[in-house]
């Protein structure tokens, strides 16, 4: 079967990802672009006689610039093979902005098919679009779709299978007369006839003219040395104006003509519901109240709505353990499978409903257009801490995971802003902390709901999010005042329209994120669970045909734990908590599986209980409970600030290009974690708390 590669290109918020999900469904996979750690999505479509591979490029407003997303799109399109084609996603309500980028793609000579999105919004706003005139103006095939509902997708798929749907077009706009005339004479002199060669020539002229968006001479090097010398001489001796800015002006003139001929807007009265919502969401007081109210609802819902599926998963794992145990004789294999693997991995799988809810909530905020408004609002606050609103989206993305958040800082051009954001991102509460927080909060704060609605656990979780954000802002200010003193960059952004999130797109987003969480964390948890099972059951022996393990305190792990216990006792931690902190350095959520294995070993032979109930019942040698509210707060603070994620440190090294910054990040966060836990626990004891 024939195969074809297609690149999906377009502006941010144009419906590109929703379209990608519609086209590829569950056949997508994620990875990194070659040579860089920026995530890409690839998906496949099987059509009669042809297999299509679609690569979703980062959303960008154009190919010129130094931001990483623009550089990647430029590199990929520049190096595409001759038979590789482009689907350009064009937002029907932002034609002027989208056509700027499309004209650049045309200039490159890429065979292109245009997908016009937002069909539903056009109809809702009663905007009339003359599709035939738009096709004639651009000389390209265009299909109008509603990416959310799937309307027009069947027609699009039928076009994808046809070679002639992807058309090449000549440059549609013109330079000023002097530059255009010189370019035409050069094309004749150098015998340039193709779009691709003309693109290299104009890029070379812009480079020689000192365009700041072109920082290397790779296009110029496409030509022989005598041509390079000729171009250099003539550009130096004559005052030509070849540059990105001039291009934009000439393209804009053409775009206005195209739009005025093909789209007709009704008379719009001001003061619609979108404007009224913006007056609230962007208000300096009400805007912040709305933001924190939304975050409060999120953390309340994590406990309120996830309890039932969590109980079902927990019950399912217990039944699986019973089923597996009943078919195996007593011995090491049964113990390894039931207590080590199922107990360890199952203890983390049980938190999947809450992780899924978190990603769903963030997805709704992003797709609805609220997240961009929150960034705009936060710009005012973040300016007081030496950052711009550009840092807010990476910081809020840290609520899911610090690794993509740090990669997301590549869109920040200002180096000081970028490095500061990288250094403080891991302080924001991430999804890896949720299983730990939920276990601790659920264990030590098991109080009934206030007014029957607001549960204390949700309030504590929200407080931890707020604390993480407050401390990250504080350390951002410290870094900006001490190490990164360069002035903050300006934050300019276009607010997207309010949109009803696509259920299908949200489903694929949540599915992909949960799958990634289980795949990455699951492997580490499995390996550590097996290692811990061994260390917590051995030395062991067969005696009188009965397999006897050591008591947990006498096992290998127990001996290590007892040695380290005096060092962590001032923080309120016993040796089992200490071991779980050690193992969670690989990944924070490993703490939960570690406790499950350690307590599972201790409770062997007793009636099965949930991990939280087992923790609540655990006592010290003096008869006092190990898991008290004071110990819980101390442990929460430790996990809020400790740098326990090897992936985050690795990506910090990659992005800063130095071992220095991950070292600083690890040291300042660990010091903050230990000192905060110590002060809070000791102060709490002095005040009489337990």
Annotated binding residues, written as ranges, equal 10-17, 21, 24-25, 35-39, 56-59
The answer to whether the beta carbons of residues 135 and 162 sit under 8 Å apart is no
Beta-carbon contacts of 478 under 8 Å, excluding residues fewer than 6 positions away, are none
Q: Where are the alpha helices (DSSP H) in 305-408?
A: 307-326, 332-335, 343-349, 352-368, 370-383, 392-397, 402-408
Whole-angstrom Cα distance, residue 88 to residue 99?
A: 10
* Residue 167, SS3 per DSSP: strand
Whole-angstrom Cα distance, residue 385 to residue 380?
A: 10
The answer to whether the beta carbons of residues 410 and 38 sit under 8 Å apart is yes
* Residue 143, SS3 per DSSP: strand
Q: How many CB atoms neighbour CB 404 within 10 A?
A: 18
Instruction: Tell me which H or E stretch contains 10.
Output: strand 2-10
Whole-angstrom Cα distance, residue 280 to residue 294?
A: 13
DSSP string, 590-610: HHHHHHHHHHHHHTTTSPP--
- Nearest alpha carbon to residue 30 among 508, 454, 501: 508
Beta strands in 524-577, from DSSP E residues, in sequence order: 540-543, 546-549
Whole-angstrom Cα distance, residue 224 to residue 222?
A: 7
Tokens of 48: 């009669």
- Nearest alpha carbon to residue 574 among 586, 585, 561, 591: 561
* Residue 41, SS3 per DSSP: strand
The alpha carbon of 74 is separated from its chain's Cα centroid by a whole number of angstroms, namely 22
* Residue 547, SS3 per DSSP: strand
The answer to whether the beta carbons of residues 110 and 79 sit under 8 Å apart is no
101-132: b or e for each residue (b if 16 or more CB lie within 10 Å)?
A: bbbbbbbbbbbbbbbbbbbbbbeeeebebeee
Whole-angstrom Cα distance, residue 99 to residue 113?
A: 13
Tokens of 613: 């109930």
Beta-carbon contacts of 637 under 8 Å, excluding residues fewer than 6 positions away, are 673, 676, 677, 680
The answer to whether the beta carbons of residues 465 and 434 sit under 8 Å apart is no
* Residue 221, SS3 per DSSP: helix
* Residue 100, SS3 per DSSP: helix
* Residue 90, SS3 per DSSP: strand
- Nearest alpha carbon to residue 395 among 432, 423, 367: 423
Q: Where are the alpha helices (DSSP H) in 209-243?
A: 225-237
* Residue 625, SS3 per DSSP: strand
Annotated binding site for GTP, which residues?
10-17, 35-39, 56-59
- Nearest alpha carbon to residue 650 among 586, 607, 578, 591: 586
Annotated binding site for Mg(2+), which residues?
21, 24-25
Whole-angstrom Cα distance, residue 615 to residue 594?
A: 13
* Residue 451, SS3 per DSSP: coil
Whole-angstrom Cα distance, residue 257 to residue 251?
A: 10
Whole-angstrom Cα distance, residue 254 to residue 173?
A: 6
């Amino acid at each position: 079967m024939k195969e074809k590669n297609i690149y999906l290109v377009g502006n941010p918020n144009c419906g590109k990802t929703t379209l990608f999900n519609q086209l590829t469904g569950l056949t997508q996979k994620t990875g990194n672009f070659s040579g860089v750690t920026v995530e890409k999505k690839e998906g496949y479509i099987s059509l009669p006689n042809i297999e299509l591979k679609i690569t979703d490029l980062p959303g960008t407003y154009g190919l010129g610039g130094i931001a990483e997303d623009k550089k990647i799109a430029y590199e990929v399109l520049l190096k595409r093979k001759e038979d590789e084609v482009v689907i350009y996603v064009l937002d029907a309500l932002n034609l002027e902005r989208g056509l700027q980028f499309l004209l650049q793609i045309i200039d490159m000579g890429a065979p292109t098919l245009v997908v016009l999105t937002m069909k539903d919004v056009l109809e809702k706003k009663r905007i009339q679009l003359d599709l035939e005139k738009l096709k004639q103006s651009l000389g390209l095939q265009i299909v109008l779709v509603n990416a959310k509902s799937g309307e027009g997708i069947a027609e699009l798929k039928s076009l994808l299978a046809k070679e002639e749907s992807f058309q090449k077009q000549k440059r549609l706009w013109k330079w000023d007369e002097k530059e255009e005339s010189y370019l035409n004479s050069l094309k004749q002199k150098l015998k340039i006839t193709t779009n691709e060669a003309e693109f290299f020539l104009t890029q070379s002229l812009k480079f020689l003219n000192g365009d700041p968006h072109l920082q290397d001479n790779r296009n110029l090097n496409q030509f022989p040395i005598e041509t390079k010398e000729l171009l250099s001489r003539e550009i130096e001796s004559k005052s030509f104006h070849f540059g990105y800015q001039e291009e934009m002006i000439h393209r804009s003139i053409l775009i206005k003509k195209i739009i005025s001929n093909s789209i007709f807007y009704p008379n719009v009265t001001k003061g619609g519901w979108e404007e009224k919502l913006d007056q609230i969401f962007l208000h300096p007081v009400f805007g912040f109240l709305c933001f924190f109210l939304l975050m409060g609802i999120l953390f309340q819902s994590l406990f309120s709505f996830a309890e039932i599926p969590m109980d079902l998963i927990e019950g399912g794992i217990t039944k699986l353990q019973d089923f597996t145990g009943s078919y195996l004789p007593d011995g090491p294999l049964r113990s390894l499978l039931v207590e080590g693997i199922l107990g360890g991995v199952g203890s983390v799988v049980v938190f999947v409903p809450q992780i899924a809810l978190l990603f769903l909530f963030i997805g709704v905020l992003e797709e609805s257009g609220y997240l961009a408004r929150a960034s705009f609002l936060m710009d005012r606050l973040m300016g007081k801490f030496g950052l711009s609103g550009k840092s807010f989206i990476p910081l809020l993305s840290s609520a899911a995971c610090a690794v993509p958040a740090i990669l997301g800082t590549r869109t920040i051009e200002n180096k000081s802003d970028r490095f500061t954001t990288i250094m403080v991102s891991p302080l924001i509460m991430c999804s890896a902390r949720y299983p730990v927080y939920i276990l601790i909060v659920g264990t030590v704060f098991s109080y009934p709901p206030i007014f029957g609605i607001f549960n204390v656990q949700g309030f504590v979780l929200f407080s931890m999010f707020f604390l993480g954000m407050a401390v990250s802002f504080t350390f951002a200010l410290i870094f900006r005042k001490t190490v990164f003193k360069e002035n903050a960059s300006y934050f300019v952004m276009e607010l997207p329209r309010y949109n009803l999130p696509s259920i299908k797109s949200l489903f694929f987003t949540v599915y992909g994120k949960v799958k990634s969480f289980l795949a990455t964390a699951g492997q580490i948890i499995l390996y550590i669970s097996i290692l811990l099972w061994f260390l917590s059951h051995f030395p062991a022996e067969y005696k009188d045909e009965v397999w006897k393990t050591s008591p947990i305190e006498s096992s290998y792990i127990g001996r290590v734990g007892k040695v380290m216990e005096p060092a962590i006792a001032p923080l309120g931690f016993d040796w089992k908590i200490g071991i779980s902190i050690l193992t969670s350095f690989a990944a924070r959520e490993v703490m939960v599986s570690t406790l499950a294995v350690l307590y599972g070993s201790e409770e062997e032979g007793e009636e099965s209980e949930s991990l939280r109930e087992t923790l609540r019942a655990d006592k010290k040698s003096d008869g006092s409970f190990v898991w008290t509210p004071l110990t819980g707060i101390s442990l929460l603070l430790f996990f809020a600030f400790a740098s326990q994620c090897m992936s985050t440190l690795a990506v910090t090294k990659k992005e800063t290009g130095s071992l220095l910054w991950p070292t600083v990040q690890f040291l300042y966060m660990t010091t903050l974690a230990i000192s905060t836990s110590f002060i809070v626990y000791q102060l709490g004891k002095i005040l009489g708390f337990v």
